[in-house]
A and B are shown apart, each in its own frame.
Chain A
Amino acid sequence: MTRCGMRRLLATACVLSTLFVTAFAAVSAQGQAEESADVLRRGNYLEPESLDPHRARGAEAANILRDLYEGLTREGPDGKILPGTAESWEISEDGRVYTFHLRDDARWSNGDPVTAKDFVAGIRRSLSPETGSPYAQTLAIIENARAILANDAKPGTLGVIARDERELEIRLESPAPYLLRLLSHHSTYPIHLPSLEKHGEKFTRAGNLVSNGAYRLDEWIVNGHIKLVRNEHYWDADDVRIETVYYYPIGDEEAEFNRFRAGGLDITQTIPVRRYEWLKREMPEALRIAPYLSTYYYGFNLRKPPFKDAPKLRRALSMVIDRDIIANKVLGRGELPAWTLTPPGIENYQSPLPDYASWPMEKRIETAQRLYREAGYSNDKPLEVELRFNTGDTHEHVAIAIASMWKKHLGVDTNLVHEEWRVFLQNRRQREITEVFRAGWVGDYDDPQTFLQLLHSESGVNDYGYANPEYDALLEKASNTADPEKRMEIYRRAEAMMLADQPILPIYIYVSKHLVSPRVGGWEDNILDHHASRDLYIKD
């Protein structure tokens, strides 16, 4: 028995060590990203789902693609639109035809010239239902795009036409001044057809990927890191100062923070919520907090009681929320109180504040109590409501604060329910069991359209069941208006109308939160929170 046990132990040890040695042999010890003058190390939250510009989704992929590729336009460090691969363009009188002139010296990372055809191929690919692009809908403003998306027209009929090698024409269904912004987004990037044909679905692998941006893909260890190196064929390569960029997927904000503190990262994707005060005290030079083009709000399910046909009740619930307390006390990291769906910072747009936004709290509470009574509720017959949110500390804190405000001022009994993200999303979309639920939206570009279309009666993300034909008509009218000022005015009217119906309850405006090492220069806060590596440099 004794011998037996010893033998068994030895046997196990043999097996273990063999497995281990084999494994160790497979991974050679080399290559580290140490702090160095021409290396930038960025935290990037999660592993990107794809590096295929037309199939990728999410900010993680967008961050990397912004370095790898360049659209017809690009964003400067402050977020303003600059010429990208197109050096100039003309816009027709009615705002529906854009003609772009590509640079002579635009090159792919293998030296091939970038032509107008490459852009045509890229945008067509984004809109082909076979590609499965998550952003196809935002490109539906291009002529015939809608029909192509629905499989009713051939990709060749798309209103993106190569006039010659360097001239590209884009024809729109309706004037959309945000087109120039869209053209800096990865869904409109060009595609290098020879490498796509050669490698098929594997064209995004390191060694296969040919890109036209400031960097090229050098290494991709899934869930490990993505390494980019400067693309010497890039037309502006001389101005790209950082030689190598590492992107690390670090989902845990505390882990990311620790890596930053230990000197393993130069830029973080976020900060640990609880460390804010400490960071403000100890690392003020690294902390970067800026308003973000994103709103946090609650939605009402208008398809079922208690919120169906109950605008007074919805308004009362919105009025009694002290948004300053939520923004400054519950969150307190620079978040702003929100009264509208559109966040501030959209160029030439003034969000229509509801009248009660400027009232003192007492007046709001009094009015809300009256509305609450008129809606048929009282202390004897309080509203019982379910508030549903996706699991997360911040969401829970906000929900508790709001439930207590409802309880204190109106006597509402709130039942808090939290669910895992995908479960929550499904319930929200089905509009069958939800009552009040958490929501948020990040603008794709700085235009009210990206927010206001959420509540269009036919929108695929109208989880509220809001259907107001007048609102739909205003959105339609705005998108057909070429005059930018008039267009914004119509959006403003539409938003005011929607807010009066109160299908949603805006709560706060998000902030972007980063730690940026003092050795990194060129960083500018912007509301889109886009920061291309080509605009950054390492200080001496």
Chain B
Amino acid sequence: MARYLFIRIASAIPTLWLLVTLAFFLVRFAPGGPFDFERALPPAIEANLQAKYHLDEPLLQQYVRYLGDVLQGDFGPSFQYRDYTVSELIYAGLPVSMTLGGLAMLIALIGGVAAGSYAALRRNRWPDHAVMTASMTGISVPNFVMAPLLVLVFAIYFDWLPAGGWHDGALPYLVLPVIVLALPQVAYIARLTRSSVTEVLHSDFIRTARAKGLSPREVLLRHALKPALLPVVSYLGPAAAAVLTGSVVVEEIFGIPGIGRFFVHGALNRDYTLVLGVVIFYGALVILFNLLVDLAYAALDPRVRYR
């Protein structure tokens, strides 16, 4: 087990290194620099800023310096938010983004599986069509359209919820962004669940279960759901990635102080250190997440042994 853990962590290092390197050079190849403003800086000041952030050094030297700093846990100062370091910004945005993303994933899983199974049980009848139509809408309407739409209905016409803001994640401020973020995933998972439940319901062992006199509800919960959920499980990885990218848009629209916003503004403003910091952080998060799932998986299933 310890050996497996060691190998997994060790193999994460080259992955991260590749990610850092790619991101470092890609962000540098974008034209325009962090101190190119409409109002030009006096030469002495620009030289000072360049020197302060080591931008006057050869690119390769900057790369080596950056890697060294990152290894010591120093992501450097933000070029754009000049009063903060990148680590401070990520640390501040982390709980916000995690709350948003975590809630959206939970809702996607629960809502999607429930709606999908229900549709499968009522296949080709109106509840099925209703769920499928709703989920098709959920998949095809992009979040930047869905968000203003929900705001219009729930914040402006009914005045039930605020139209944006965060305020330490108070419940009313959470509802709309979480729903917008979860909706496409709920829809996708519902469709996945419906088709696989339908398929499983046609298999022999289900007929046997029915023949034994089990109610449709019991057949679903005891026998059909488990095998039917396999595709859903394999979709969780892409879903997490989709929630991550979705949060970039949702945070911007609802004015939520999460990490996604830093990514967008950092890229637009050529805030090299901030963009790199977020990329490394996201990369590490995905790697860590996969590792945790695999470990928990081993802990739960006695047949799985990692060596």
Residues of chain A touching chain B, judged by Cβ–Cβ distance below 8 Å, are 1-17, 19-20, 22-24, 26-33, 46-47, 49-52, 55, 57, 129-130, 132-134, 136-137, 149-151, 201-202, 204-205, 221-225, 248-252, 254-255, 258-259, 261-264, 420-423, 425-427, 429, 459-461
- Give the chain B neighbours of A204 by CB distance below 8 A: 83
A133 to B226, CA, bound (A): 63
- Give the chain B neighbours of A22 by CB distance below 8 A: 98
Interface residues of B in 137-194 (CB under 8 A from A): 148, 151-152, 155-156, 159, 162-173
Which 4 interchain pairs have the tightest Cβ spacing? A422-B32, A20-B102, A460-B40, A224-B257
A520 to B91, CA, bound (A): 36
Pairwise interchain contact B265-A1, C-beta atoms closer than 8 A: no
Given contacts A23-B99, A248-B255, A423-B31, contact A136 B83 (CB under 8 A): no
Pairwise interchain contact A132-B155, C-beta atoms closer than 8 A: no
- Give the chain B neighbours of A264 by CB distance below 8 A: 155, 162-165
A2, A11, A14, A222: the one contacting B92 at CB < 8 Å is A222
Pairwise interchain contact B52-A258, C-beta atoms closer than 8 A: no
- Give the chain B neighbours of A261 by CB distance below 8 A: 155-156, 163
Pairwise interchain contact B37-A31, C-beta atoms closer than 8 A: no
Given contacts A27-B95, A248-B165, contact A255 B301 (CB under 8 A): no
Residues of chain B touching chain A, judged by Cβ–Cβ distance below 8 Å, are 30-33, 36-45, 47-49, 52, 80-84, 89, 92-96, 98-99, 102-103, 105-106, 109, 148, 151-152, 155-156, 159, 162-173, 226-227, 229-230, 232-233, 236, 252-258, 261-262, 265, 268-270, 289, 292-293, 296-297, 299-301, 303-304
Pairwise interchain contact A33-B167, C-beta atoms closer than 8 A: yes
Pairwise interchain contact A29-B84, C-beta atoms closer than 8 A: no
B30, B38, B99, B303: the one contacting A27 at CB < 8 Å is B99
Pairwise interchain contact B166-A224, C-beta atoms closer than 8 A: yes
A278 to B10, CA, bound (A): 60
- Give the chain B neighbours of A24 by CB distance below 8 A: 95, 99, 102, 169
Identity of the chain A residue whose Cβ is nearest the Cβ of B152 in the assembled complex: A258
Given contacts A33-B167, A264-B163, contact A137 B98 (CB under 8 A): no
Known: A9-B232, A149-B44, A250-B255. 4 other contacts (CB 8 A): A5-B226, A50-B81, A224-B96, A422-B268
Pairwise interchain contact A29-B169, C-beta atoms closer than 8 A: yes
Pairwise interchain contact A223-B41, C-beta atoms closer than 8 A: no
- Give the chain A neighbours of B269 by CB distance below 8 A: 422
A12, A55, A133, A222: the one contacting B236 at CB < 8 Å is A12
A26, A31, A258, A461: the one contacting B167 at CB < 8 Å is A31
A10, A33, A205, A223: the one contacting B261 at CB < 8 Å is A223
- Give the chain B neighbours of A5 by CB distance below 8 A: 226-227, 229-230, 233
Pairwise interchain contact A15-B301, C-beta atoms closer than 8 A: no
Pairwise interchain contact B81-A49, C-beta atoms closer than 8 A: yes
Pairwise interchain contact A10-B300, C-beta atoms closer than 8 A: yes
A3, A4, A11, A49: the one contacting B293 at CB < 8 Å is A11
- Contacts between chains A and B (CB distance < 8 A), count: 243
Question: In the assembled complex, how far is the CB of residue A426 from the closest CB belonging to chain B, in whole angstroms?
Answer: 5
Pairwise interchain contact B252-A252, C-beta atoms closer than 8 A: yes
- Give the chain B neighbours of A7 by CB distance below 8 A: 297, 300-301
Pairwise interchain contact B84-A263, C-beta atoms closer than 8 A: no
Pairwise interchain contact A422-B81, C-beta atoms closer than 8 A: no
Pairwise interchain contact B37-A259, C-beta atoms closer than 8 A: no
A9, A422, A427, A429: the one contacting B229 at CB < 8 Å is A9
- Give the chain A neighbours of B106 by CB distance below 8 A: 13, 16-17, 20
Identity of the chain B residue whose Cβ is nearest the Cβ of A220 in the assembled complex: B83
Given contacts A2-B226, A27-B96, contact A225 B165 (CB under 8 A): yes
B49, B103, B148, B172: the one contacting A255 at CB < 8 Å is B148
A6, A224, A225, A252: the one contacting B253 at CB < 8 Å is A252
- Give the chain B neighbours of A49 by CB distance below 8 A: 80-82
Question: In the assembled complex, how far is the CB of residue A165 from the closest CB belonging to chain B, in whole angstroms?
Answer: 30
Question: In the assembled complex, how far is the CB of residue B155 from the closest CB belonging to chain A, in whole angstroms?
Answer: 4
- Give the chain A neighbours of B162 by CB distance below 8 A: 259, 262, 264
14 A-B interface contacts by CB (under 8 A): A3-B301, A11-B293, A11-B296, A28-B168, A57-B39, A134-B45, A136-B42, A223-B265, A248-B165, A251-B252, A255-B252, A259-B163, A420-B268, A429-B40
Identity of the chain B residue whose Cβ is nearest the Cβ of A25 in the assembled complex: B95
A378 to B162, CA, bound (A): 60
Identity of the chain B residue whose Cβ is nearest the Cβ of A221 in the assembled complex: B257
Question: In the assembled complex, how far is the CB of residue A198 from the closest CB belonging to chain B, in whole angstroms?
Answer: 15
- Give the chain A neighbours of B39 by CB distance below 8 A: 57, 134, 461
Pairwise interchain contact A255-B254, C-beta atoms closer than 8 A: yes
- Give the chain B neighbours of A10 by CB distance below 8 A: 300
A501 to B225, CA, bound (A): 79
Pairwise interchain contact A221-B163, C-beta atoms closer than 8 A: no
